[in-house]
Amino acid sequence: MPEEVLFESESTRTRASVAEYLRAVADKLDAGEPITLRADEQSVTLDVPAEPTFEVKAERETSSAGGSAELSLELELEWREGEAGDAESDGSLSIE
């Protein structure tokens, strides 16, 4: 299935700024409200269903030249367009 990027933004921010952004997203999710993403001329509004699939991934990517590794933390919500969503499991997931 081809992928269409609806919105993309990448910038260096402080941890506090990232936390503030994630809190705003969490507040919208908690309230069941649509989330509007905006950056420069880009804008997209997403109505996240009550039970999206939630993926958490930590990765280490090393360059072929042997330089320093790049670490990433990815938090992803997925659902089928037009569907209410269906949680696959309520497996234990926590942050310590």
Q: What is the pLDDT of residues 6-25, one digit of tens each?
A: 999 999 999 999 999 999 99
The DSSP symbol for 32 reads: T
Q: Where along the chain do its domains lie? A: 15-78
pTM for the model stands at 0.81
Per-residue DSSP letters for the chain?
A: --------------HHHHHHHHHHHHHHHHHT--EEEEETTEEEEE---SS-EEEEEEEEE--TT----EEEEEEEEE--TTS----S--------
- Pick from 60, 71, 70, 77: nearest CA to 22: 77
pLDDT at residue number 1: 72
